[in-house]
Amino acid sequence: MTATTPSTATPFVRKDNASQRRLADAVATGLLWTAALGIVLLLAVFIGYLLYLGAHVISWHFLTAPPSEISAGGGIGPEIFNSFYILVLTLIFTVPVATAAGIYLQEYARPGLFNSTVQFCAESLATIPSIVMGLFGLIVFVQVLHWHFTALGGALALTLLNLPALMRVTQEGLASVPQALREGSMALGATKWQTIRRVVLPGSIAPLTTGIILIAGRIIGETAVLIYTAGVSVSPGRSAFNWNPFHPAETLSVHLWYTHSEGLVPDAVDIGNGSALVLLLIVLVFNISARILGRGLSRHFTGK
């Protein structure tokens, strides 16, 4: 080295633009942090506002009493029940089919025409707007099958709507299990099904559970598809818990829409705000429990 280039003593430190790079780093960190904070603030403001509007409406009476058509003071008891009832029905239909299809596509199907056809159909199904699925349900379940508005019809329409998403969730959950684990199992003389059953499924139980609960949260809030299939009234008997799947079953989200847009009761705004708050809290509980359960299951199944 000659004495004419004293500044290149350590070639990895480029003093000329170090401050510039530090600035860019700080700006990027700041921007990303602000975006993240923005999301948190948005949610906080949203929940705060709904609490402000709806908290005073909520009472034991409001949560359990049947709704009222004309006079003030109606409750949302049957709606809460119907929301969960339809959710459970939908999950009973959706989870087995979606999981099986997801396992098949991810673990068994070889790339080819059949596989890509199924994928294409699932993606197309996923892009159908829920109102269109609602009208489809109206034609098939309400009119052609003569069921009229029923919890079952609503659940089946919701199944069609959420099947692709849950299949996707299954596929992604399975894909998150490293190929090396499958090979490790097969190299011990395990069959494909033993490998899936004992290594792949336990290894993906956390993302699968999380995915199912998040989709459950979405199903709870689904409205348009149910207006035309499960209807906007609760069962004629007006008892809060009607297990008959062939009765009309207005859910909480449908009730929220109905009282706000069509309702005749003088306290429609209060009922709407109260319903919205309850709905939001239910969805929040779903999302939080998805996280807790996901972590717990993953710990249980990985021995960690």
Partner 1 sequence: MLSTEPVTTPVRATKLEVKDLNVFYGEFQAIKDASMDVPENRVTALIGPSGCGKSTFIRALNRMHDLSPGVTVKGHVRLDGQDIYGKDVDPVTIRHRIGMVFQRPNPFPKTIYENVVYGPKIHGLSDRRKLAEVCERGLRRAALWDEVKDRLNESALDLSGGQQQRLCIARVLAVEPEVILMDEPASALDPIATSKIEDLIGELKRDYTVVIVTHSMQQAARISDFTSFFLLGDLIEIGTTSEVFTKPKDKRTEDYITGRYG
Q: Which residues bind partner 1 (CB under 8 A)?
A: 110-111, 178, 180-191, 194, 198-199, 202-203, 301-304
Nearer to partner 1, 68 or 115 (CB): 115
Distance of CA 144 to the CA centre of its chain: 30
CB of 205 to partner 1, least distance (A): 10
Token couple for 53: 């509007």
Nearer to partner 1, 84 or 301 (CB): 301
Nearer to partner 1, 63 or 190 (CB): 190
- 146: three-class secondary structure by DSSP: coil
What secondary structure letter does DSSP report for 109? Answer: P
8 Å CB contact between 214 and 293: no
Nearer to partner 1, 128 or 186 (CB): 186
What secondary structure letter does DSSP report for 70? Answer: S
CB of 183 to partner 1, least distance (A): 7
Give the chain's radius of gyration (CA, Å).
Answer: 26
CB of 245 to partner 1, least distance (A): 40
CB of 58 to partner 1, least distance (A): 43
CB of 172 to partner 1, least distance (A): 17
8 Å CB contact between 79 and 234: yes
Please, what is the angle between helix 252-261 and helix 205-221, to 10°?
30
CB of 304 to partner 1, least distance (A): 4
CB of 122 to partner 1, least distance (A): 20
Nearer to partner 1, 29 or 191 (CB): 191
Nearer to partner 1, 91 or 206 (CB): 206
DSSP secondary structure string for all residues of 16-39: GGHHHHHHHHHHHHHHHHHHHHHH
Give kind and range of the element (H or E) at residue 228. Answer: none
* Cα 23 from Cα 100, distance rounded (Å): 51
* Cα 57 from Cα 53, distance rounded (Å): 8
* Cα 181 from Cα 202, distance rounded (Å): 12
* Cα 210 from Cα 289, distance rounded (Å): 9
Nearer to partner 1, 41 or 181 (CB): 181
